[in-house]
Amino acid sequence: FEDHHLTYAILNQRANQLGHYLQALGVSPEVRVGIRLRRSLWLPVVVLAILKAGGAYVPLDPAWPLTRLVALVQDARLTILMTSKQEDELAGAGVQDLLLIEQVWQTHELQEASNVNVKSLVMEHNLAYIVSTSGSTGRPKGVLSTHAGVVNYLHYVTHTSQLTADTVVLQLPPLSFDASLRDIFATLLVGGRLVLVSEEEYRDMQTLVDRLQQQKVTALLSIVPSFLSALLDVADTLQQRCPSVELVLVSGESLALEVVNHAQRVFSPDLQVINQYGPTETTMTSMFTPVSPSLQDRGLAPLGRPIPNMQAYVLDHQLSAVPIGVVGEIYLSGIGLSRGYMDQTAATAEKFVPLPVAAQFIAPGARMYRTGDLGRYLPNGQIEFLGRKDTQVKLRGLRIELAEIEAVLREHGAFEACVVLLREDEPGEQRLVAYLIVQPGQALQISALRSYLQDRLPTYMIPSAFVSMPVFPLLPNGKLNRRALPVPDVAASESHVQEEARTPLEDLLAGLWCQMLGRESIGRHDNFFALGGHSLLATKLIGRVRAMLTVEVPLRTLFETPTVAEFAAAIEEIMRKDQGVEIPPLLKVTRPEQIPLSFAQQRLWFLDQLEPGSTAYACGK
């Protein structure tokens, strides 16, 4: 960490001393100890000490707002908190022993504490840590993870990844995310070297690239694909390679294979990439697949197969197994399942359900976790991720899976990453917006992209706006921050020069579109739906066209030909086919001195004959 080092001997000695000190304060199996520390060499010492004492650690991120911290302290019923500064507010929330780590370390009690290994009665079923996840109610949910799940995962990752004493790991995730446990203990178990970074370094991609080179890092064990992609982009910009990196374990998001190719260019052509999948409720990871060249024809890496002592199922709404290729919800079971959510029995009962009767032979009375993720079995037995159940949205009554649109965009090949949202920036006006990171050397051609999507998706599933971004905004854990994605700038996305109408019909239609869409001008190549039009407005527009031109234009015509020029050509074709009727040509004629009255003028003349001298229809000067 920075210019400081810690040997294994000193680490074990300090953890033992602190562990004995904590036991004297009453820490034992099932006792929870809070940790609120910034990144430093103290973090692995404190975590190891709590576990040695038999307790369970509860990380409290220093960046979290006070209200969230107080809620977690109260929910976890923390009486001991290890921190680096006075926390009066948290002490008032029920904390009895507020331990300022640097001050405690100077106390006589701790200095005199034994440095021999701590003995505890902790068992595999005991609590190891509580990590919080966001809850739908707005109150965080604490996930109760056990030693059994942790040990099972660490045994898998150290053997599958072939970690050794020569392994050098760059520790990235904050302690408040369970992936940090992977970095710390997978490295310590094999006698490798763990490189810690400060908060400032973690937020600076250029500094992280420097750390990879300076420390000759060989493995990134906990990195999110979007974070990895941003890191690779910075390395490219700096024209720096990091050939020492031999292993990358990704998790937390879908892994695009283009990111893998990019990583092999920046790190090493022989780079081993393993895609991992598993929510916090199943202890870090439940499934994995090494990304091999045979997968390069796919847009995304599959989830793979379960790790040892874990099982995965793809089930329908009746909890029956679905056939190969059929979409269902992914369920996970096995030794890695957490106990559930801290003091939230209803949420636990909803998400942790009994195994189906057909699977009870595996472990009678066992449970499985309902992930909310959609997937399907591939012919080779692996499971493919297809998105979240909660990405299913309704747009003007039409059900849409956002994951399906994202999958089609990924297949385009011009984008490093993409995400589609249903936005409602104006009350009642919903629209699909696609956010894209364009591949280096490529340009976002919206018209060509729309044509591509029109060939693959129903019109109502084509985004109304496309936003090109250099990088996506990320949360502290490296995942995509969807709420920080910007409101689309329609004017900026339509920077092309508008071409004026060429025919009277095009001019008429352009005027109608301006009225319908509330715009000042419309070009002949502008797309009705790209400008904010939708099915309801399309119905109104078709009604106006039918009334003005006295021609039967099907609604689908507008969806099939959504630009002014295309729509005008389609109407002309309909009129030609409708009993040979053609649009009368515009011909120049001579203007006689006396012109026949129109029907409206004849009506006014007739009324004047009935009531001579009436001013009812007179026009003032």
Task: Give tens-digit pLDDT for 94-130.
Answer: 788 888 888 888 888 888 888 899 998 899 999 999 9
Task: Report DSSP state, residue 295.
Answer: G
289 vs 363 pLDDT, higher one: 289
Under the banding of pLDDT at 50, 70 and 90, the label for residue 137 is: very low
Per-residue pLDDT averaged across 485-489, rounded?
A: 84
This model's pTM is above 0.75: no
pLDDT tens sequence across 384-396: 988 777 666 767 6
Q: What confidence tier does 513 reach under pLDDT thresholds 50, 70, 90?
A: confident
CATH architecture, domain defined by 161-277: 3-Layer(aba) Sandwich (3.40)
pLDDT at 457 over 80: no
Q: Please, where in the chain does CATH 3.40.50.980 lie?
A: 1-122, 161-277
Average pLDDT of the chain? 84
pLDDT digits over 436-454, tens only? Answer: 999 888 888 888 898 888 7
Query: Under a CB-based contact definition with an 8 Å cutoff, are residues 79 and 42 in contact?
Result: no
For the cut 60, the answer to whether the pLDDT of residue 135 exceeds it is no
Residues 151-163 have a mean pLDDT of 94
Residue 465: pLDDT above 60?
yes
* 11 Cβ contact list (under 8 Å, min separation 6): 44, 45, 48, 188
pLDDT of residue 138: 42
Burial of 241 (0-12, 13-18, 19+ CB in 10 A): middle
Helix axes 225-238, 205-214, angle to 10 degrees: 80
Question: What tens digit of pLDDT does each residue of 47-91 get?
Answer: 999 999 999 999 998 877 777 788 888 888 888 999 887 766 777
Query: 427 pLDDT band (50/70/90 cuts)?
Result: low
Segments in 177-272 forming alpha helices (H): 179-190, 199-202, 205-214, 225-238, 257-266
Secondary structure letter of residue 414 according to DSSP: S
* Selected residue with higher pLDDT from 312 and 602: 312
User: What pLDDT is attached to residue 64?
Assistant: 76
Q: Residue 233 — very low, low, confident or very high, per pLDDT cuts 50/70/90?
A: confident
- For residue 494, the number of C-alpha atoms closer than 13 Å in the C-beta half-sphere is 20
Report d(CA 125, CA 367) in Å as an integer. 15
Helix (H) or strand (E) holding 256: none
* Region 419-427 average pLDDT: 82
| Beta pairing, strands 328-334 & 367-377 | antiparallel
What is the pLDDT confidence band of residue 134, given thresholds at 50, 70 and 90?
low
CATH number attached to the domain at 1-122: 3.40.50.980
504-577 under CATH 3.30.1360.10, yes or no: no
The two beta strands, 367-377 and 383-388, are: antiparallel
Q: Could you say which of 3.40.50.300, 3.30.300.30, 3.40.50.720, 3.40.640.10 is the CATH number of the domain covering 396-493?
A: 3.30.300.30
Q: How confident is the model at residue 400 (pLDDT cuts 50, 70, 90)?
A: confident
User: Given this model, what pLDDT does residue 584 score?
Assistant: 59
pLDDT for 287 equals 95
Q: For 264-288, how does the pLDDT look when each residue is reduced to its tens digit (9 = 90+)? A: 999 988 999 999 999 899 998 999 9
Q: What residue ranges of the chain are covered by domains with CATH 3.30.300.30?
A: 396-493
Residue 159 has pLDDT above 80, yes or no: yes
Token readout for 187 is 């490295």
Cβ–Cβ under 8 Å, residues 55 and 34: no
- 495: tokens are 């920077």
